[in-house]
Amino acid sequence: MEMEITQGLPQGAREIRQAVFVEEQGFTMEFDDIDALAWHAVLSENGVPLATGRTFPADEPGFYTIGRVAVRKERRRQGLGEKILLALEEKARSLGARGTCLCAQVRAQGFYEALGYQAYGEIVYDEEVPHVMMKKETQR
């Protein structure tokens, strides 16, 4: 498997997010201006993009936001999401982050908790889907 991290939205990330968030989950506002500035990770196998995510500076100083973590449906539960998340955390650390935060779909909360994230605050809704804010301090 190959992991590539680039600034700006690569075609592989666009394809995965279109399939997962737009076609499968019904989100309509998937792509935004942050895509041009964020660092995007794409995990591929034999040239086929399988999983993606992005990171960019958060509003809170010293933190980076991780988001748009997605794995193609047929490749879920194989550890690919964890590989993407860990690669994005490492990229954020290399850019000076002391921690990462994210807004997780409530149904994915356990996935992030297993990787050291802690939920905080109220449930928020993004396109009628419940989300929870989560944060993780960087291990130095």
At 5-59, the pLDDT tens digits run: 999 999 999 999 999 999 999 999 899 999 999 999 999 999 999 999 999 999 9
> What pTM was estimated for this model as a whole?
0.92
| Model confidence band, residue 138 (pLDDT cutoffs 50, 70, 90) | confident
Give the per-residue pLDDT at 130: 94
pLDDT at 140 over 60: no
Give the per-residue pLDDT at 139: 59
Give the per-residue pLDDT at 6: 96
Mean pLDDT of the chain: 94
At 115-137, the pLDDT tens digits run: 999 999 999 998 889 999 999 98
Sheet of 2-7, strand order: 2-7, 39-45, 48-57, 63-71, 99-105, 129-137, 118-126
Here the tokens at position 4 are 């590539």
At 73-89, the pLDDT tens digits run: 999 999 999 999 999 99
Give the per-residue pLDDT at 123: 94
